[in-house]
Structure 1
Amino acid sequence: MSDIRLVPGEVPLSHWRALWRGGTPRLEPTSGAKIAASAEAVARILARGEPVYGINTGFGKLASVRIGDADLATLQRNIVLSHAAGSGAPSPVAVVRLMMALKLASLAQGASGVQPDTVALLEAMLARGLTPEVPSQGSVGASGDLAPLSHMAAAMIGVGWIDLQGERLPAAQALTRAGLQPLQLGPKEGLALLNGTQFSTANALGGLFQAELLFQSALVTGALSTEAAKGSDTPFDPRIHALRRHRGQIEVADTLRALMAGSTIRASHAVDDPRVQDPYCLRCQPQVMGAALDVLRQAASTLATEANGVSDNPLIFADTDEALSGGNFHAEPVAFAADMIALAICEIGSIAERRIAMLVDPALSGLPAFLTPKPGLNSGFMIPQVTAAALVSENKQRAYPASVDSIPTSANQEDHVSMAAHGARRLLEMAANATAVIGIEWLAAAQGVDFHAPLASSRPLEAARATLRAAVPMLHDDRHFHPDMEAANSLIASGALTTIHPLPEVSP
């Protein structure tokens, strides 16, 4: 795994993407001075003897309870252990590692009051492959992602479980095996570790990166479906899209036109096809996919800002020795971004399923029924289309905005919450559903183009078909279909469709 340099507050999305794909974060060495200054400021604040939330008081509704100096370390340990109350299946390792990297970059900005050793341990755990086991449920997205981050913090003090390069071990044992010592929490440190939006943001970023791969792959399969149906390329004329002015729509139309340039199938359409207009699933690809691209880019902008921010509480300002209590932990921006990503994923899969349905219908596509040479004896693509419909319907149910929900917690002290974790956690499963739909479309579109031989598609689309055909032969008679679908899904996940031609990017 490659090292990814993190300059706190200035990390580009491309770096977070690289971390999502397995990179290891390395903090910019100059961060040390800010971290140390922040810890020293906490010591000076304590020396004044004044009550300061989160440093020498209770938490949430118990903020008015003053804690004596002798109990400050116990206070921080207690908050970690009591808040490590998550539920459900463990979060994926990639999500937890990205969450840890986000927390690392946040703490290193010197506004959280943690010791340099605390940041060093988090960085060392990432470098040595120690991933805390973090239950996926339990956060309402304010006051931060308390339960998930508490499980991370608990592992740092030797409590709970850690995945050490694929082996599940008690946290203390895993730290020892990696040559690390459990953390001894100082004032403010437990709260700094468990407060913040890093769990929601990690899930949302993972969803964004998978949505980008999905979007790019769907552009290629959509173009191939247009070829299979001998659809018109007139709807992709740049003059149409220039008049509407949406950036994403213009880019998608340009891409579709370029993907199909030079196709002999395309040339045949102009000669012998009596159809005047194609169904919306072909004709309106620039409008639908372009809108999805614009929405994903807006979400990417929000998440890039969030990933570079500091979202725990209170925040320490070393220049004035102040601890200011606010609400940066409220993850409403992340919730909105996650909802936008969910909508885009849902619509990318939805219009792709309509193209599959069109291809299997001989009245619409002009191809053999269910894309089989012997319909009746063979069912061909009948049930894969049903599977695509089921997956799209499931995504529709999941796409309802999470951000419009709220439920009071902590004895009404935390009376409005974001549900960002709910909104973000669904994205990876939604993307997997939509990827399976795109995989079915790839199989169906390639099958459709096979029927047009000896006519050939464009160079990039023939490359896409050849990539699939290297793993999945043309369907002549019914066979076990599931392995074909799995092969297509694996190729999409590998990025095979994103390398055949330059495609619009969601995030730089």
Structure 2
Amino acid sequence: MVELTGDSLTLGQIRQICFEGELVAISAVSMGKVVESRAAVEKIVAEKRTIYGINTGFGKFSDVIIAEDDVNDLQLNLIRSHACGVGDPFPEVVSRAMVLLRLNALIKGFSGIRPVTAEQLVTLLNSHIHPVIPQQGSLGASGDLAPLSHLALVLAGEGKVHYKGNVCTTQDVYRQEGLKPIVLQAKEGLALINGTQTMTAMGVINWLEASDLAYQSEWIAALTMEGLGGIIDAFHPAIHEVRGYPQQIAVAERLRNILSGSKLITRQGEKRVQDAYSLRCIPQVHGASWQALDYVKEKLEIEVNAATDNPLIFDGGKTVISGGNFHGQPIAIAMDFMKIAMAEFASISERRIERLVNPQLSDLPPFLSPQPGLQSGAMIMQYCAASLVSENKTLAHPASVDSIPSSANQEDHVSMGTIAARHAYSIIQNVRRVLAIECICALQAVEYRGVEKIAPQTKSFYEEARKVVASINVDRVFSEDIERMAEWLNKGKWPR
């Protein structure tokens, strides 16, 4: 059980909740803050003070005053009209993360929701009822309005949900679970959708998958080093210490540890004086990507515990301020940075694949074929990797430098952060498949060299990987091998 406070959620806890199904609860202190914040909203309504989003319209309609009898209708109308998402739904794990992060933001006590609304979000998480949320339609500035509206619809008993492996109507699932819809009251609709939780949820899932993949890339690169007789001297600690980047130093150290005891790696001058950059510069390139991932992690850790709706309520309702914490620029830039960092893992991996399969670049059999000429071996696997790398270059174009005004120019600068996060996710999937191809090729290469000569750690890796993809003894449909290896990388537990 993870107790939520609104201030202390970690990426590790999000992994537990979203990937391992851990249950959640709201801390008593945080629920007290929710009660106080709600009392402030009800006082504002009773005193007929004019406050944005409580008794006014939204966006360009902020100057339209709403009658007291229409305040509740205003909130439901907001949710229904803003549920304009289109396209394929987000992965279910991302939907779960969105519910979690929205809950965590609301219980900080600055949003004015009722305790029953917070408790309904807890019920969705603990009952594994996850909103079906279309991926496209957010500008990432006035909050992730469209996707979060699809989340809020579920609280009101509308829309669709993922439930027990199926997509069902919320109404049917509520009936099965004995749940009642929430009747949204003053400010609650706005509080639910005015935030960055879509891009942040996608960003957290991205980071969790990307960091796993970054470690996996080192194991696969180490196996390639053995398959090509790479020169271990390039990973000597002195080289990396004199440059001074901690991430570069760490990558080199991990590679030395993984390759310890290998009889296939070489020393400079034994086979050649120095390796190509895709081998020699693994710590420098991977280390630079790790720098970016560390930056992204820092921003995500702030954002998952941030109050990002508008307006925010302070001092028991004495101070209600309209601001712009819903603007997704910090996460938009972080996701664009992540896109570049992850694309580089695939870029250098593809160059290592080329060295494994190109007979002009190594003494391995051409394309690692069991019968060169009659059988093509890994020839087209390299094509596939090259295609994915090229696609990543397009996806890595920054989304955060774009902006299109909305709401009649009231909202005249937007972040496009959710687009950045979605593209980062696509890049990560492509990187995993490129690394899967390198892994398949590296496994084949060390077999030609002699598996008995590889390092003890890579031997354990080799044995596990061979349970997933068999040796290439004859041409077959390698697409199936690539996908199976990618799935293994995605699900596997890896030493760090």
Moved over 4 A (4+): none
Q: Which of 303, 309, 322 is the equivalent residue of 1:325?
A: 322
Retained in 1: the 8 A contact 2:468–2:488? no
Between the aligned partners of 2:61 and 2:215, the Cα distance in structure 1 is: 50
Retained in 2: the 8 A contact 1:37–1:318? no
Between the aligned partners of 1:271 and 1:390, the Cα distance in structure 2 is: 33
Match of 2:203 in 1: 204
Match of 2:192 in 1: 193
Retained in 2: the 8 A contact 1:22–1:94? no
Match of 2:362 in 1: 365
Match of 1:223 in 2: 222
Taking the TM superposition and a 5 Å limit, the aligned residue runs for 1:290-309 are 290-309=287-306
Match of 2:5 in 1: 7
Between the aligned partners of 1:99 and 1:286, the Cα distance in structure 2 is: 35
Match of 1:280 in 2: 277
Is 1:344 the counterpart of 2:322 in the alignment? Answer: no
Between the aligned partners of 2:12 and 2:54, the Cα distance in structure 1 is: 36
| Displacement after TM superposition at 1:318 (Å) | 4.0
Between the aligned partners of 2:269 and 2:370, the Cα distance in structure 1 is: 22
Retained in 2: the 8 A contact 1:213–1:495? no
Between the aligned partners of 1:185 and 1:57, the Cα distance in structure 2 is: 16
Match of 1:119 in 2: 118
Between the aligned partners of 1:120 and 1:393, the Cα distance in structure 2 is: 46
| Displacement after TM superposition at 1:176 (Å) | 2.2
Between the aligned partners of 1:249 and 1:270, the Cα distance in structure 2 is: 21
Retained in 2: the 8 A contact 1:53–1:325? yes
Match of 2:127 in 1: 128
Match of 1:506 in 2: none
Is 1:438 the counterpart of 2:435 in the alignment? Answer: yes
Retained in 2: the 8 A contact 1:42–1:321? no
Q: Which blocks of at least 5 consecutive residues in structure 2 are unaligned?
A: none
> Structure 1 10/193 Cα, relative in aligned 2: closer, same or farther at 3 Å?
same
TM-score, scaled to structure 2: 0.97
Taking the TM superposition and a 5 Å limit, the aligned residue runs for 1:139-218 are 139-218=138-217
Between the aligned partners of 1:344 and 1:87, the Cα distance in structure 2 is: 28
Comparing 312-321 with 278-287, greater Cα deviation is found at 312-321
Between the aligned partners of 1:70 and 1:27, the Cα distance in structure 2 is: 32
Retained in 2: the 8 A contact 1:45–1:322? no
Taking the TM superposition and a 5 Å limit, the aligned residue runs for 1:44-59 are 44-59=43-58
| Counterpart residue identity of residue 320, structure 2 | A
Between the aligned partners of 2:211 and 2:77, the Cα distance in structure 1 is: 41
Between the aligned partners of 1:274 and 1:320, the Cα distance in structure 2 is: 74
Q: Which blocks of at least 5 consecutive residues in structure 1 are unaligned?
A: 504-508
| Displacement after TM superposition at 1:224 (Å) | 0.6
Retained in 2: the 8 A contact 1:196–1:312? yes
* Number of equivalenced pairs: 495
The residue matched to 1:364 in structure 2 has which SS? coil
Retained in 2: the 8 A contact 1:84–1:148? yes
Retained in 2: the 8 A contact 1:330–1:417? yes
The residue matched to 1:136 in structure 2 has which SS? strand
| Displacement after TM superposition at 1:441 (Å) | 0.6
Between the aligned partners of 1:305 and 1:454, the Cα distance in structure 2 is: 46
Between the aligned partners of 1:455 and 1:166, the Cα distance in structure 2 is: 44
| Displacement after TM superposition at 1:272 (Å) | 8.3
| Displacement after TM superposition at 1:489 (Å) | 1.4
Comparing 70-79 with 45-54, greater Cα deviation is found at 45-54
Q: Percentage identity across aligned positions?
A: 41
| Displacement after TM superposition at 1:25 (Å) | 2.6
Taking the TM superposition and a 5 Å limit, the aligned residue runs for 1:413-424 are 413-424=410-421
The residue matched to 1:162 in structure 2 has which SS? strand
Between the aligned partners of 2:475 and 2:57, the Cα distance in structure 1 is: 66
Retained in 1: the 8 A contact 2:4–2:24? yes
RMSD after superposition: 1.4
| Counterpart residue identity of residue 278, structure 1 | D
Retained in 1: the 8 A contact 2:404–2:414? yes
Retained in 1: the 8 A contact 2:41–2:317? no
Retained in 2: the 8 A contact 1:311–1:328? yes
> Structure 1 48/60 Cα, relative in aligned 2: closer, same or farther at 3 Å?
same
